[in-house]
Amino acid sequence: MILISGANGTAGRSVIAHLVRRGAPVRALVSNADSARSIETLGVEPIIGDMREIEVQQRALTDIATVYHIAPALMADELDVGRQFIARARDQGIERFVLHGVSYPYAPHIGFHWTKMKLEAELLKSGLAYTIVRPTQFMQNITWSLPQILQTGEFALPYAADKPMGFVHIDDLGKAVARILTEPNHAGATYELCSTPQPIDRHHMAAALSDAFGVKIHAVRCTFDDLLGSHFFASLSSVQRQQMANMYDHIDHFGTAYFNNDVLKMLTGVPTTSYVEFAEELASTYT
């Protein structure tokens, strides 16, 4: 059986859906009863509890062969919890440990990136058969700001609009990770997952959204303070906001263009999703 921790997030649900299609038995660790009911509809075994608690970790890992560990976004104690999961997995004889990491983990000024790098180092020392997955930014991250984009005609973020970046479609990620979790010969691998065949900038994204939604959208630069009134940023702590500000500053200086864009296609055996295709998909389901 495969355990997915942090299972009710976007990545977890996509991986679960593709595992179920492959006929794999799945246990999903979620934090509350509502999430458990939602996850159960996907055809998996939910387990409810706080992943920070040792008893919950032990219960979740019982009779598990493979773990896909996903920490909730910007989790303050992610490093401690990840170390505990690795230790419990080793103690309970888990066959494989797959870590949901992050692109560009080697950026110490971005706290949640650097934490992932430290967890990668913990896996190196653990003796476990491990695989590390490093997805680029999710195309779906735009959903929190899409209403404002459509209302104002401006795709505004606090970095230069011409910075080249890589993006992954969440369904492409789910396909790839499901194969990693159910097929042999992935031990010791680190995979960058990027759907876009070439780096794209926000002008390209705005053009794709304009065509898909039939409205003119321009890519513009705003300040980080301009974002703080949104529901997403209003829910963050001051530490989490600073981490996000540091991430945007990194993108403004360097972009995130340097990935092997063929890895995802090699893993799934099918073409990846372009940003134009994503924009069309988004428009067809947007209400």
DSSP 188-247: T-EEEE---SS-B-HHHHHHHHHHHHTS--EEEE--GGGGTTSHHHHTS-HHHHHHHHHH
Interhelix angle 111-126/78-91, rounded to 10 degrees, is 20
Domain ranges of the chain: 2-136+167-193
Instruction: List, as own/partner pairs, every contact residues 230-234 make where C-beta atoms lie below 8 angstroms and the sequence separation is at least 24, other chains included.
Output: 230/144, 230/145, 230/148, 231/144, 232/144, 232/145
From first to last of its 287 residues, what are the pLDDT tens digits of the chain? Answer: 999 999 999 999 999 999 999 999 999 999 999 999 999 999 999 999 999 999 999 999 999 999 999 999 899 999 999 999 999 999 999 999 999 999 999 999 999 999 999 999 999 999 999 999 999 999 999 998 999 999 999 999 999 999 999 999 999 999 999 999 999 999 999 999 999 999 999 999 999 999 999 999 999 999 999 999 888 888 899 999 999 999 999 999 999 988 888 999 999 999 999 999 999 999 999 97
Q: What angle do CA 124, 125, 126 make, to 5 degrees?
A: 95
The DSSP code sequence of 120-170 is: HHHHHHH-SEEEEEEE-EEGGGGGGTHHHHHHHSEEEESS-TT--B-EE-H
pLDDT at site 22: 97
Return the structure tokens found at 19. 């595992």
Q: What angle do CA 197, 251, 205 make, to 5 degrees?
A: 45
By three-state DSSP, how is residue 55 classified? Answer: helix
The DSSP code sequence of 1-45 is: -EEESSTTSHHHHHHHHHHHHTT--EEEEESSHHHHHHHHTTTSE
| Cα dihedral across residues 276, 258, 15, 244: positive or negative | negative
Which class in CATH covers the domain with range 2-136+167-193? alpha beta
